[in-house]
Each structure stands twice: as C-alpha cells, then as structure tokens.
Amino acid sequence: MMFPQSRHSASSQQLKFTTSDSCDRIKDEFQFLQAQYHSLKLECDKLASEKSEMQRHYIMYYEMSYGLNIEMHKQHQQQVLGAIERAKQVTPPEMNSIIQQLQAHQLSQLQGLALPMTPLPLGLSQPAGLPAVTSSSGLFSLSSILASQAQLAKEDKSTRETSDSHREEDGDKSD
C-alpha cells in the first residue's frame, strides 16, 4: 500500500510547483498586458488630441477660405457695379468710338482670311443675321461672324446666279 501513497505525495508536490508557477506566469502576463494597455491608452489619447488639433486647423482653414471667397465676391460685385455705372454714363459718340475700335480689332484679326468684312456705318445697329460682337465673346463670335458672312455670300451668289439665268431665259424668249 505504500506505493500508492508515495505516488500521491509526489504528484501533490508537482501540483503545488505547477500551480505556483502558473500563478506567477499569470501574474507576469497580467502585468505585461497592463503595461501594453497603458501604452495603447497613451497612444490613443495622443491620437485623439492630434485629431482634435487637426479638426481645429480644418475649421480655421475653412473659415479663412470662406472669408476669402466672400471677399472676392464682394470685390467682383463692386467691379461689376462700377462697370455698370460707367456703362450708364457712356455717350453715343463714345459708343461709336468703341464700335469702331472693335471693328478695327476684328479687321486686324481677319487680315489673313480671304473673306471681306465691311465695317458698320456710325450709328447703325448690327445687320440682321450677324451676331453682335463684344470684347468678351472672343474667337467664338468671330467664327460665327465668318460663318454668317460666308452663308450670306453664298446666298447672295445663288441669288445673282438665279437672276442671271432668268435674264438669259427672258432674252432667249424675246428672239
């Protein structure tokens, strides 16, 4: 019967040693996890403060951008109002002078092209079928003017040819 008792006492010593070691390992792991938790918490707090700082900067930049945008609109509106007031004060002779300057500018741009462009007489409005040209309409209006003039030239030519053919037919009938 001694055999089983000695066996039991040896196993209980191993169990005590193992339990004590296990508790120490658990305690070490717990301390390691606490240290890790503490460092992660510090890092999280640091990131949260950086986030709030970034949000503060974003709001500050947004407010500056918004203020600049408002200021630009105010200045643009003031420029437009000034231009409108100036336009109200333009006299007919000044208007004719501006029209002549625009026509001279158009002619200088059209010098290389074979299509003739006749300037408008003073005081007359734009002929029907031709769009009005302003300094802001640029190349697009020039191309539309050229297209309109080309179309008018074609129509004028076909009208002349038609009237010439009618004259010839009338001349043949009279013989």
What pLDDT, on a 0 to 100 scale, did the predictor assign at position 133?
Answer: 47
What pLDDT, on a 0 to 100 scale, did the predictor assign at position 62?
Answer: 96
Q: Encoding tokens for residue 29?
A: 């792991």
* Contact present, 126 and 120 (Cβ < 8 Å): yes
The HSE-up count of residue 97 (CA atoms within 13 Å, CB side) is 5
Report how far residue 149's alpha carbon sits from residue 144's, in angstroms, rounded to the nearest whole number.
Answer: 8
Q: Encoding tokens for residue 48?
A: 């949260």
What pLDDT, on a 0 to 100 scale, did the predictor assign at position 41?
Answer: 98
pTM metric for this prediction: 0.36
Q: Output the tens digit of pLDDT for each of the chain's 175 residues.
A: 445 555 555 555 555 668 888 899 999 999 999 999 999 999 999 999 999 999 999 999 999 999 999 999 999 899 999 999 988 888 899 889 989 999 988 888 887 665 555 555 555 555 554 445 444 445 555 556 666 666 666 676 666 666 665 555 555 555 4
Report how far residue 67's alpha carbon sits from residue 6's, in angstroms, rounded to the nearest whole number.
Answer: 90
What pLDDT, on a 0 to 100 scale, did the predictor assign at position 68?
Answer: 95
